[in-house]
Amino acid sequence: MEDYWKLLPDYQGIELTSLAFKRVLFGLFVAYKDSPLPTRWDRVMQIGDASGMQSPLSFGGFGALTRHLSRLTGAVCSALETDALSRQQLGLINPYQPNLRAAWLFQASMRPPVVRGEWSDDFISRVLVATFEVMEARGDSVMRPFLQDVLRPDSLLLTIGGLMVSSPLVAVEILVRLGPVPLADWFFHYAAMVAGSAVASAPSRALAAQLAASLPPADGFALERRVQGWQFGSGMDYVPKEPTPVAVDALRQAKAAAESARVFAAARATP
């Protein structure tokens, strides 16, 4: 950081005394609201960050891709086998996913405003603490999918409903700060998640697989991709795993850190 300040005048061609600092940005992970990004060329497919598949709640890079590896591997193999390589067909591999768009409500409530002072300094901390307290109370079935960047309609309903009951003032403050347009947009995508959970249920997927096998290769490919898109877009791809035992010391440290965050948020909220 010290080297940065020393070299900044040469890099910018201006003296430090002429700069008015508003915010120091140490890192940036790009997320696209209108995602996934459309495929623009035949036989060319975007992968990873270039596809816009990363959630606004997660980091970019390989970590944002791990959830989709099995889906992408099967879809690319199927595209090659059926010669489904036009840009329209390749676009079906990364289709609209409503839970990816619904995640923007959380991102909007947890990002600091561009203009300093528009939000109280402790607002984001209070939102995080209240949200994770609700998920912790609801158990692993709610907490684990969220931590793995998988938004499901049932988990979202329990989390948001629990937040309104346990921390109504925080919930109201979120609604006031975000405004009606982002909320209406979120409700639209949440409704799509609910519909997708029905379309991509296990019986529906089995029926779609049988139907795809009886269709021409290109049509079967398209049907499989659409059903799979709804499956991942509603979080129906999540499979609970047996929890890995946590060392006692590590668990104690994690709980101490969580308690410190709660104390800090409470102290900042006290006038």
Q: Is residue 85 situated within a structural domain?
A: no
Q: Kindly report the three-state secondary structure assignment for every residue of 147-179.
A: HCCCCCHHHHHHHHHHHHHHCHHHHHHHHHHHC
Per-residue pLDDT at 262: 76
Task: Indicate whether 266 pLDDT > 90.
Answer: no
Q: Would the pLDDT of 166 be above 80? A: yes
In a domain, 185, yes or no: yes
Measure the CA–CA gap between 59 and 49, rounded to whole angstroms.
10
What pLDDT, on a 0 to 100 scale, did the predictor assign at position 63?
65
Quote the CA–CA distance of 83 and 110 in Å, as a whole number: 43
Pick the more confident residue, 171 or 242. 171
Per-residue confidence band for 270, with pLDDT thresholds at 50, 70 and 90: low
Task: Report the domain count for the chain.
Answer: 1
- Give the tens place of pLDDT for each residue, 54-99: 777 776 666 667 888 889 999 999 999 999 999 999 999 988 889 8
Q: Does 53 have pLDDT greater than 70?
A: yes
Q: Is residue 48 part of a domain?
A: no
Task: Note down the domain range covering 189.
Answer: 98-269
Mean pLDDT (the chain, rounded): 84
pLDDT at residue 250 is higher than 80: no
pLDDT at residue 227 greater than cutoff 90: yes
Is pLDDT at 31 greater than 90 in this prediction?
A: no
- Flag whether 125 is in a domain: yes
pLDDT for residue 21 is more than 90? no
Higher-pLDDT residue of 81 and 18 is: 81
Determine the pLDDT at residue 194.
94
pLDDT digits (tens, 9 = 90+) for 175-214: 888 888 888 999 999 999 999 999 888 899 999 999 999 9
Beta carbons of 48 and 64 less than 8 angstroms apart: yes
Q: 243 in a domain, yes or no? A: yes
User: Which residues neighbour 168 within 8 Å (Cβ) at sequence distance 6 or greater?
Assistant: none
Residue 140 lies in a domain: yes
The whole-number pLDDT of residue 238 equals 87
pLDDT grade for 114, boundaries at 50, 70 and 90: low
pLDDT tens column, 118-148: 677 778 888 888 998 999 999 888 988 888 8
| In a domain? residue 62 | no
pLDDT at position 210, please?
93
Residue 62 pLDDT: 66
* Dihedral Cα 80, 47, 102, 112, nearest 10 deg: 180
> Does residue 182 lie within any of the structural domains?
yes
Higher-confidence position of 7 and 21: 7
